[in-house]
Amino acid sequence: MKNLLPLLFLGALPGMILAQPQPSAEEILRRIDKQMVTESAEATATMIITNRRGRETRITSRSWSKGENTSLVEYLSPAREKGVKMLRLEDVLWMYTPSADRVIQISGHMLRQSVSGSDLSYEDMVDNGKLLDIYDAAVVGEDVFMDRPCYVLRLRAKDDAAEVTYAQRKIWVDKMRYLPLKEERYAKNGSTLLKLFEIREVMKIGDRWYPKEMYFKDVLANGQGTRYIMDDIKFDVDIPDYLFTKAALRE
């Protein structure tokens, strides 16, 4: 019996080591931001919009981002969309349309309108903000989504945060990868569901997990949803500041 007790203790030791305390809601948001928010990035992507009849429209784009509030998106195809550009500078969004050769400012309620008939708004397209800066969070449970154990969090916009599109969110966060695999995005009242979001495929780049394929559904629209596929992305790239100017939109 004297020799058995140490063996029993040693046998339980691996389980004791693996049993880690649950991180706080703030720590979970911090880890999500570490995965999702980039200092600088250059990417190409394909957006597949499916209407209510099942017809698909594909739009390919190239994008550049620097920090949380500076980004540029340029459409590459189809022909009717080629050359359209969206430039975000802080809280201002500029859009260039080559067919009209005009640069216009997208502001106010227009920021929440659909981009090219998709389930993404203009704000969705250029958002790179940190959740931790915008929301207060609480862990409200645990669940399994797409065979991945998840923390379930409820997010509410901070009182001192600027007006945000989604005042409340419910998110399912992968416990190992700290990616928000599923989201329900709500209006300020917390009961009006505006959008559903899912990460359906992930990829690992260096030590970062990042979405490969995402799905958006505007629940107030009639379509079947929009898939956003990241074809290629590079992080921590050098991007000339001139690219993020109104003058460069016409080039």
Name the domain count of the chain: 1
Can you list the alpha helix ranges (DSSP code H) found in the chain?
4-18, 25-36, 122-126, 131-134
Whether residue 87 is contained in a domain is answered as yes
Tell me which residue has tokens 């916009």.
157
SS3 9: helix
Does pTM surpass 0.85? yes
**What are the C-alpha distances in Å from 40 to residues 20, 63, 92, 147, 236?**
33, 11, 19, 32, 5
Residue 8 lies inside a defined structural domain of this protein: no
Q: Range of 83's domain?
A: 25-250
**pLDDT, tens digit only, all 251 positions of the chain:** 445 444 444 455 444 445 568 899 999 999 999 999 889 999 999 999 999 999 999 999 999 999 888 999 999 999 999 999 999 998 789 999 999 999 999 887 788 889 999 999 988 887 778 899 999 999 999 999 999 999 999 999 998 666 788 999 999 999 999 999 999 999 888 889 999 999 999 999 999 999 999 999 999 999 999 999 999 999 999 999 999 999 999 88
Which CATH number fits the domain that encloses residue 190?
A: 2.50.20.10
Total Cβ atoms within 10 A of residue 210: 20
Q: Note whether residue 5 is domain-resident.
A: no
In a domain, 42, yes or no: yes
Q: Is residue 17 part of a domain?
A: no
How far is Cα of residue 88 from the mean position of the Cα atoms in its chain?
16
Domain-located, residue 1: no
Q: Is residue 45 part of a domain?
A: yes
